[in-house]
């Protein structure tokens, strides 16, 4: 269901990105540099905390930095929510 996927995206994408970034040992500033300043450190902070959401194109690019597609992230979120 599309609305269920949208809810998962909104609820989980920021925290998932935070987890990936932390696991890679990158600070927000380093992540922004690596992304080519796709987003600012402040925007990244708000996204990770769930306070805002960049457009889907930017989200796809941010996740691609870790070799993860948005579709994989949604599937992982659904699996974690079932546990």
42-59, pLDDT tens digit by residue? 999 998 988 888 888 888
Rounded Cα distance, 3 and 43, in Å = 25
4-22, pLDDT tens digit by residue? 444 445 667 888 889 999 9
Phi-psi region of 73 (alpha: psi -120 to 50; beta: other; left: phi over 0): alpha
- Of 73, 79, 80, 76, nearest to 13 by C-alpha is 73
User: Could you tell me the maximum CA-CA distance found in the chain, to the nearest angstrom?
Assistant: 36
Torsion of CA 68, 18, 34, 42, to 10 degrees: 140
């Amino acid at each position: 269901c599309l609305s269920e996927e949208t809810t998962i995206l909104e609820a989980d994408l920021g925290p998932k990105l935070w987890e990936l970034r932390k696991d890679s040992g990158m600070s927000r500033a380093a992540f922004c540099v690596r992304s080519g300043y796709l987003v600012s450190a402040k925007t990244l902070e708000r996204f990770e905390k769930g306070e805002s959401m960049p457009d889907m194109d930017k989200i796809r690019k941010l996740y691609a930095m870790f070799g993860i597609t948005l579709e994989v992230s949604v599937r992982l979120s659904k699996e974690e929510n079932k546990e």
